[in-house]
């Protein structure tokens, strides 16, 4: 059994795939397996994967017709055979000590999740998207959401997870929808008890202006609203305190009945008419 399985969904990322794979195969933690799922790429991505696999026997390649990242990640989860599992998107990359630092911290605390910071590259400018000043362990659910800045930053990629716990709770990504990260991340923070966050190591996230979620479409809007509502309902059901997330709340009533609620979060406004979610507007 390897220490960490790295699951990499790949779809038409020939320009960036080498950078991603290089950051994984050159990790200071060598005892890893690398599971790459080619999601029906039509460019040279599969050819690149095969070239790297010829040089590194830790790389496993699976192919499928184009089905989306959720199904690709789920396939990786089902075949992974390591103690912990992580996700890396094929146009991103990780610090060379990323897996070693997260894994050693996981063993130190017997943690179910270890979370690192995120640096985001946009238009050749770096920004700390999530940064931790110190190491902190917690089993408190509300504190886990505060530390990881969820639900604003529902990223599964800057973490490692104890694989046995994911399988115990049957946690997978919902197939066929965009913004699938939201519900997966919230469910892991609720059901996996022991979390540690660590400073000074980062997942490097490239903002791709041509990504599916950046492209305006009916499906994009529909899935955005669907996953957001599903996520917020799940958090409400589990009594998650979102005071760290809500910036403003307005209620409009008539004759004692609430007609409209408007909640302003860090990055969006939510409009509820007669307590039914009708619209979500992103804020700049």
Q: Are residues 253 and 207 in the same domain?
A: no
In a domain, 234, yes or no: no
Domain that holds residue 276: 245-284
Identify whether residues 63 and 147 lie together within a single domain.
yes
- In a domain, residue 221? The reply is no
**The pLDDT of residue 260:** 85
User: In the predicted model, is pLDDT for residue 211 greater than 60?
Assistant: no
- Please identify, among 166, 195, 214, the residue that sits at the C-terminal boundary of a domain: 214
Mean pLDDT of 102-124: 94
What is the arithmetic mean of pLDDT over 85-99? 97
What is the per-residue pLDDT for 28?
Answer: 98
Residue 230 domain-assigned (yes or no):
no
Same domain, 176 and 267: no
Does residue 109 belong to any structural domain of this protein?
Answer: yes
Residue 204 and residue 84 share a domain: yes
Q: Does 277 fall in a domain?
A: yes
Query: What's the pLDDT score for residue 209?
Result: 54
pLDDT, tens digit, for every residue of 242-266?
877 776 767 788 777 788 878 787 6
Same domain for 273 and 178: no
Q: Which residues, 6+ apart, have CB-to-CB distance to 189 below 8 Å? A: 113, 141, 144, 145, 148, 150, 195
Per-residue confidence at 284, pLDDT binned at 50, 70, 90?
A: low
Q: Are residues 26 and 154 in the same domain?
A: yes
Q: What is the pLDDT of residue 20?
A: 98
Of residues 127 and 189, the one with the higher pLDDT is 189
What's the total number of domains in the chain?
2
62 touches 101 (CB < 8 A)? no
Domain presence at residue 225: no
Q: Is the pLDDT of residue 183 over 70?
A: yes
Q: Is 240 left (phi over 0), alpha (psi -120 to 50) or beta?
A: beta
Asked whether residue 220 is domain-assigned, the answer is no
Q: Which of 214, 232, 264 is the last residue of a domain?
A: 214
Looking at the structure, tell me whether residues 143 and 188 fall in a common domain: yes
pLDDT of residue 23: 98
Could you tell me if 6 and 35 are in contact, meaning their C-beta atoms sit under 8 angstroms apart? yes
In terms of domains, do 159 and 270 share one? no
pTM of the shown model: 0.86
- Kindly state whether residues 125 and 263 are assigned to the same domain: no
% of the chain exceeding 70 in pLDDT: 94
CA–CA dist 261, 42 (Å, integer): 46
| The pLDDT of residue 17 is above 80 | yes
Mean residue pLDDT across the chain? 92
Position 247 scores a pLDDT of 67
**Any domain includes 252:** yes
CATH number at residue 154: 3.90.550.10
Tell me the pLDDT tens digit for each residue of 37-89: 999 999 999 999 999 999 999 999 999 999 999 999 999 999 999 999 999 99
Look at residue 52 in the predicted model and tell me its pLDDT: 98
For 102, other C-beta atoms within 10 Å of its C-beta total 27
Same domain, 191 and 278: no
- One domain for residues 40 and 104: yes
For residue 12, name the pLDDT band (cuts at 50, 70, 90).
Answer: very high
Last residue of a domain, one of 163, 194, 214: 214
- Answer yes or no: do 14 and 100 share one domain: yes
């Amino acid at each position: 059994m390897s220490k960490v399985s790295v699951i990499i969904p790949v779809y038409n990322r020939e320009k960036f795939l080498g950078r991603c794979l290089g950051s994984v195969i050159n990790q200071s933690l060598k005892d890893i397996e690398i599971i790459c799922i080619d999601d029906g790429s039509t460019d040279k991505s599969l050819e690149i994967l095969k070239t790297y696999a010829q040089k590194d026997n830790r790389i496993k390649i699976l192919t499928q017709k184009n089905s989306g990242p959720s199904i690709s990640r789920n396939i990786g989860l089902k075949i992974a055979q390591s103690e912990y599992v992580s996700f890396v998107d094929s146009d991103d990359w990780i610090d060379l000590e990323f897996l070693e630092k997260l894994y050693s911290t996981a063993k130190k605390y017997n943690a179910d999740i270890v979370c690192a910071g995120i640096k985001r590259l946009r238009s050749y400018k770096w920004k700390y998207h999530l940064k931790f000043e110190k190491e902190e362990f917690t089993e408190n659910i509300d504190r886990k959401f505060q530390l990881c800045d969820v639900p604003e930053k529902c990223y599964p990629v800057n973490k490692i997870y104890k694989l046995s716990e994911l399988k115990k709770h049957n946690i997978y990504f919902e197939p066929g929808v965009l913004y699938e990260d939201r519900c997966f991340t919230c469910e892991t923070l609720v059901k996996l008890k022991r979390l540690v966050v660590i400073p000074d190591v980062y997942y490097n996230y490239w903002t791709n202006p041509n990504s599916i979620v950046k492209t305006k479409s009916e499906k994009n809007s529909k899935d955005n609203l669907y996953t957001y509502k599903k996520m917020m309902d799940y958090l409400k059901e589990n009594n998650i305190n979102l005071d760290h997330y809500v910036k403003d709340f307005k209620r409009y009533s008539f004759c004692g009945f609430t007609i409209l609620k408007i909640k302003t979060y860090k990055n969006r406004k939510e409009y509820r008419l007669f307590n039914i979610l009708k619209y979500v507007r992103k804020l700049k």
